Amino acid sequence: MYNLWTTFSAALAQLWSGDPLLWGIVAVSFSVSASALLIALLPALTTGFMLAYFRFPGRWAAISVLNSLLAVPTVVVGLVLYMLLSRAGPLGDLNLLFTRPAMIIGQILLCFPLLVAMSLSAFQAADHRVLETAKTLGASPWQAFVTLLFEVRFALLAAVVTAFGRIIAEVGSAMMVGGNILHHTRNITTAIALETGKGEFVQGVALGIVLLTLALVLNISLGWMQSHSRVLRHGD
């Protein structure tokens, strides 16, 4: 029988030894989630900005749909994407099922609504005078957008951290459209699912430690940056 402490220390030892298989799995998670976030980021921020600053018919409907999408389970995203990408589905010719790009698309779909919703509330909370001042000073719409981005940078950073946390920790979509293929599409969460199924809790715990550490580092640095900026402002 396993015991909690021996499993935990064996997991730490496995991480420390630099086990290439383990760190390869971690690398898959990071490259997939970072790619998804990078691709989704600008379109999402632009969408959030437009929803915050332009009034158009259907705007409320769009926001409602967006907020509902936040609640969609990852397996449902995985299932829909699976049916689209399967050879028997409409996008089968792209040959994307069971590849990393398929996982990336799934995670883009998962983080996009979150990024839009969080940036939308960040933009709404921002002081409207920033934008008006920028416009009066002759800024182009693009320059005005960039000025505003800078103004709400911490709220946006929080959005990015939250979105990254959501997609790197999701298992449903990654398992369905990735297929958990070793060296290709096996990431942290699908590996944990597999290893616990095999009764190999050590590797599962080791990978769990990586995820937890990451969450801690991201949130602590975000908190530090925010408090640091407040200190600076008070010092002005």
Q: How far is the CB of 190 from other proteins (least distance, A)?
A: 11
Rounded (10°) angle between helices 201-235 and 4-16: 70
Residues 142-161: x where in contact with other proteins by CB under 8 A, - otherwise, as a string: x--x----------------
Q: Is 164 in the site for other proteins (CB under 8 A)?
A: no
Q: Residue 198, interface with other proteins (CB under 8 A)?
A: yes
75 half-sphere exposure, CB direction, 13 A CA radius = 1
Residues with Cβ within 8 Å of 162's Cβ and at least 6 positions away in sequence, in order, are 114, 118
Amino acid, single-letter form, for residue 206:
A
Tell me the Ramachandran region of residue 234: left when phi exceeds 0, alpha when psi lies from -120 to 50, beta otherwise.
Answer: alpha
Interface segment toward other proteins; rule CB under 8 A; list 44-52, 65-73, 128-136, 163-171: 44-52
Q: Is 99 in the site for other proteins (CB under 8 A)?
A: yes
Please report whether residue 97 would count as binding other proteins according to CB under 8 A. yes
Residue 37 class from Cβ within 10 Å (0-12 exposed, 13-18 middle, 19+ buried)? buried
Q: Does 71 bind other proteins (CB under 8 A)?
A: no
The alpha carbons of the chain give a radius of gyration, in whole angstroms, of 21
Exactly one of 10, 12, 34, 63 binds other proteins (CB under 8 A); that residue is 34
Instruction: Check binding of 179 to other proteins (CB under 8 A).
Output: yes
The residues of the shown chain that bind other proteins, judged by CB under 8 A, are 1-2, 31, 34-35, 38-40, 42-44, 46-47, 50, 86-89, 92, 94-101, 104-105, 108, 112, 142, 145, 179-184, 194, 196-199
